């Protein structure tokens, strides 16, 4: 074999060895990235479950605070009524006491000189004297009622303070979880991106190796086996379908339903969904397992979020102040997906629409399995 040919063959063999080493290294790197992505996904899944629990606790606090506010408003109304009644009773009592004082100024013998008849005068005196104890007892009862109301109000105020403190603590927990989830999402996406880069590198290296192998096959049969043992990139396993179950749906937010399905709206149009009046800054969660297919402003809906569920279902959530999900995200039932705003002078409203195979359907029967409390 001529020296030049032998040198060329050696160079090609050396090039193939280098490519094979690069290929093995790229495959190893890709496997490492895949394992890292699996680890990130596992950690992310755990964090998402914690976030679901935190959101549930936050919504429970929101519901309790709303209930307490209603109780306090009712107690204030009751207090106002009792205070008004007490003032009226006191006024009546003062009038009767004044009448008794006027009678007491007259000696018994002078009663006959009064303009009224003696019988009427005596009857009036008896009635006045008999009414005073009853009025005083009623006033005492009213004062006791007011004292009890003051105690109840104080207890509720303390409970509200405790709930507010717990809510702040929970918000801090949710913020911490959101930071961790965002970090894990970024790491997972980075790992997946690097994995696909590694896959592209492997494909390129494999192509180069096949081209060079054609050349080496003409030089030495002994090199063919080595070339055939070049590792091929393993295909990425197909992602598992999310476990979606719309029959176990839940209301996405705590609040009061103020507009029902197919009821006439402000413009006399038939509503294709329901409208829920919420607390300011209320947490909005996914009503079921699904995938985010749209997130962003859309025409007259404002911030619109569309979640795709199994069985041809789509959930539309509109009116959010902030969306905490991105297209392609897999969300769990109860996972926070956004936050309501705090418009001045009014309560925020969330529009909730459910569609099956593109047609609007009443979401309340869809949610009945959860036995969520529905107001309105």
375 assigned to some structural domain = no
Considering only residues 259 and 24, tell me which one the structure prediction assigns the higher pLDDT: 259
SS3 229: coil
Which range is least confidently modeled, 208-222, 299-313, 314-328, 344-358? 208-222
Say how many C-beta atoms besides its own lie within 10 A of residue 113's C-beta. 9
For the question of whether the overall pTM of this predicted structure is more than 0.85, the answer is no
Looking at the predicted structure, is the pLDDT value of residue 193 above 80?
no
Say how many C-beta atoms besides its own lie within 10 A of residue 363's C-beta. 24
**Selection from 205, 191, 193, 192 nearest residue 233 by Cα:** 205
Q: Quick one: 212 and 280 in the same domain?
A: no
Reported as a single tens digit per residue, the pLDDT across 93-149 is 677 667 666 655 555 545 455 555 555 555 555 655 666 676 677 667 767 777 877
Q: Quick one: 174 and 300 in the same domain?
A: no
- Work out the pLDDT band at 352, boundaries 50, 70, 90: very high
Q: Quick one: 231 and 266 in the same domain?
A: no
The CATH number of the domain holding residue 100 is: 1.10.287
**What's the total number of domains in the chain?**
2
User: For residue 149, what are the β-bridge partners?
Assistant: none
Last residue of a domain, one of 210, 235, 260: 235
Whose tokens are 């950690």? That residue is 43
Q: Residue 349: what pLDDT?
A: 94
Phi, psi for residue 216 in degrees, rounded to 5? -70, -30
**Separation between Cα atoms, residue 96 and residue 190, nearest integer Å:** 86
Last residue of a domain, one of 235, 268, 294: 235
Phi, psi for residue 15 in degrees, rounded to 5? -65, -40
Q: Residue 9: what pLDDT?
A: 60
240 assigned to some structural domain = no
| Domain containing residue 307 | 246-370
Considering only residues 187 and 215, tell me which one the structure prediction assigns the higher pLDDT: 187
Q: Quick one: 124 and 265 in the same domain?
A: no
Q: How far is CA 306 from the centre of its chain?
A: 15
Please name the residues in contact with 235: beta carbons below 8 A apart, sequence gap of 6 or more.
Answer: none
Q: Residue 313: what pLDDT?
A: 86
Whose tokens are 């001529």? That residue is 2
Last residue of a domain, one of 208, 235, 262: 235
Looking at the predicted structure, is the pLDDT value of residue 263 above 50?
yes
Q: Residue 232: what pLDDT?
A: 38
Q: Quick one: 172 and 227 in the same domain?
A: yes
Q: Quick one: 179 and 61 in the same domain?
A: yes
- Work out the pLDDT band at 212, boundaries 50, 70, 90: very low
């Amino acid at each position: 074999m001529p020296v030049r040919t032998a040198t060329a063959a050696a160079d090609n063999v050396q090039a193939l060895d280098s490519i094979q080493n690069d290929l093995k290294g790229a495959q190893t790197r890709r496997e490492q990235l895949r394992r890292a992505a699996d680890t990130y996904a596992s950690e992310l899944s755990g964090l998402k479950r914690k976030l679901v629990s935190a959101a549930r606790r936050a919504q429970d606090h929101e519901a309790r605070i709303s209930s307490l506010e209603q109780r306090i408003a009712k107690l204030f109304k009751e207090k106002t009524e009792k205070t008004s009644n007490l003032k009226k009773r006191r006024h009546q009592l003062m009038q009767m006491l004044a009448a008794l004082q006027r009678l007491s100024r007259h000696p018994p013998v002078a009663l006959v000189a009064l303009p009224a008849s003696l019988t009427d005068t005596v009857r009036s005196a008896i009635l006045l004297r008999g009414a005073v104890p009853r009025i005083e007892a009623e006033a005492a009862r009213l004062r006791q009622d007011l004292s009890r109301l003051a105690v109840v109000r104080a207890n509720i105020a303390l409970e509200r303070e405790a709930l507010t403190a717990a809510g702040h603590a929970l918000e801090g927990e949710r913020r911490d979880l959101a930071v961790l989830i965002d970090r894990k999402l970024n790491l997972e996406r980075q790992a997946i991106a690097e994995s696909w880069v590694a896959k592209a590198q492997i494909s390129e290296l494999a192509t180069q190796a096949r081209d060079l192998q054609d050349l080496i096959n003409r030089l030495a049969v002994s090199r063919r086996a080595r070339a055939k043992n070049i590792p091929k990139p393993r295909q990425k396993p197909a992602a598992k379908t999310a476990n979606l179950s719309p029959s176990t749906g839940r209301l996405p937010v705590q609040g009061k339903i103020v507009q029902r399905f197919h009821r006439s709206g402000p413009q006399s149009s038939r509503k294709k969904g329901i409208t829920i009046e919420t607390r300011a800054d209320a947490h909005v969660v996914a009503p079921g397992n699904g995938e985010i297919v749209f997130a962003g402003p859309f025409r007259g809906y404002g911030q619109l979020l569309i979640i795709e569920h199994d069985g041809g279902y789509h959930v539309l959530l509109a009116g959010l102040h902030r969306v905490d999900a991105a297209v392609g995200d897999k969300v769990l039932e109860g996972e926070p997906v956004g936050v309501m705003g705090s418009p001045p002078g009014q309560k925020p409203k969330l529009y909730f629409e459910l569609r099956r195979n593109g047609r609007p359907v009443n979401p309340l029967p869809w949610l009945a399995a959860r036995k969520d409390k529905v107001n309105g």
